[in-house]
């Protein structure tokens, strides 16, 4: 990957330079919405923009066209709410899925019909064709960027690579397969679907169908990695967990800047392998608390 293309360490460097966790200083967040859900949706959207700007160094850029130019320079795909991921970095870089925590920092994440991902693949039925064809690629690392926002301020941002957090795809696929096979043994009329199941002609007229969808949730990283993601009492807390071998591949200049700056805390840690907790992974934890 070109040194000019962004990477996850830029988030730390750019947030320190930005100097505030107040999202409303950058984004217009609508007020007086009729429901809490609408407010949460808009704040989640602000968090996505925040991640894009933190990666591109455009947090203080007020010119919309210049922001878009930087997005095009660094990203090969920007997604939508219904299909993961939200962001993909150019030249085979990481994919990023942005999630906002509602309520306390220990609430589970709702992944809806998409199970947790250690990696993301171009042949996944959950991604769009635009995502699959934006570059020539087969597999990418994925980062879960999980933020807790209070009063328009980003209190916590946990950045965790999927292979430190989620089991291999076959584990989730096996569960999904067993559920689908069990449903299909009921004698009801089913049709082929990407969901867990679809029952046709439920009523005597044969005009009602039933869609059976999975609603996946996962403990959020602030809960899973609580021994590394401490509650500092500070206004803004940014954390990253990734395998040591992945850290070694990141931009050398950015690593040097992170390692020389005393405001960034770096630890060598061992974490359980998500697919086999009997084994441990050598990992790195980076924190910035301000």
DSSP string covering 80-135: ETTEEEEEEETTT--EEEEEEEPSSTTPPEEEETS---SEEETT-TTS-HHHHTSS
Burial (Cβ within 10 Å: 0-12, 13-18, ≥19) of residue 155: middle
Sorted by where each begins, the domain ranges of the chain are 9-169+215-289
Q: How far, in Å, are 5, 11, 31, 46, 98 from residue 62 at the CA level?
A: 21, 18, 21, 15, 23
In whole angstroms, give the CA distance from residue 78 to residue 84: 10
In whole angstroms, give the CA distance from residue 51 to residue 86: 10
In whole angstroms, give the CA distance from residue 11 to residue 18: 10
pLDDT, one tens digit for every residue, the chain (290 residues)? 787 899 999 999 999 999 888 887 777 655 554 433 334 456 778 899 999 999 999 998 888 899 999 999 999 999 877 788 999 999 999 999 999 887 677 788 988 888 999 999 999 988 999 999 999 999 999 999 999 888 888 999 999 999 999 999 999 989 888 887 877 777 767 777 777 788 888 888 888 988 888 889 999 998 899 888 866 678 889 999 999 999 999 999 999 999 999 999 999 999 999 999 999 999 999 999 98
In whole angstroms, give the CA distance from residue 280 to residue 282: 7
Burial (Cβ within 10 Å: 0-12, 13-18, ≥19) of residue 132: middle
Q: Which residues contact 249 (CB under 8 A, 6 or more apart)?
A: none
């Amino acid at each position: 990957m070109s040194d000019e293309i962004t990477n996850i360490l830029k988030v730390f460097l750019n947030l320190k330079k930005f100097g505030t966790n107040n999202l409303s200083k950058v984004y217009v967040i609508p007020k007086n919405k009729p429901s809490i859900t609408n407010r949460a949706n808009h704040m989640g959207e602000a968090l996505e923009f925040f991640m894009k700007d933190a990666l591109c160094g455009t947090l203080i850029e007020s010119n919309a066209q210049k922001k878009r130019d930087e997005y095009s320079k660094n990203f090969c795909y920007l997604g939508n709410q219904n299909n993961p991921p939200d962001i993909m970095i150019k030249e085979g870089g990481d994919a990023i899925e942005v999630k906002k925590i509602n309520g306390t920092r220990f609430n589970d994440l709702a992944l809806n019909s998409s199970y947790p991902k250690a990696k993301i693949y171009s042949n996944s039925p959950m991604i769009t064709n635009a995502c699959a064809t934006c570059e020539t690629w087969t597999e990418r690392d994925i980062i879960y960027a999980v933020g807790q926002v209070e009063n328009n301020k980003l209190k916590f941002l946990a950045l965790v690579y999927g292979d430190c957090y989620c089991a291999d795809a076959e584990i989730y696929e096996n569960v999904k397969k067993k559920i689908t096979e069990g449903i299909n043994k009921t004698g009801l009329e089913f049709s082929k679907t990407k969901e867990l199941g679809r029952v046709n002609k439920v009523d005597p007229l044969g005009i009602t169908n039933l869609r059976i969808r999975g609603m996946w949730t996962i403990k959020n990283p602030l809960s899973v990695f609580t021994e590394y993601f401490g509650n500092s009492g500070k206004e803004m807390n940014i954390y990253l967990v990734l395998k040591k071998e992945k850290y070694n591949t990141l931009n050398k200049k950015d690593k040097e800047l992170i390692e020389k700056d005393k405001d960034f805390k770096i630890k060598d840690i061992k974490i359980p392998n998500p697919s086999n907790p009997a084994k441990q992974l050598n990992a790195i934890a980076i924190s910035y608390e301000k």
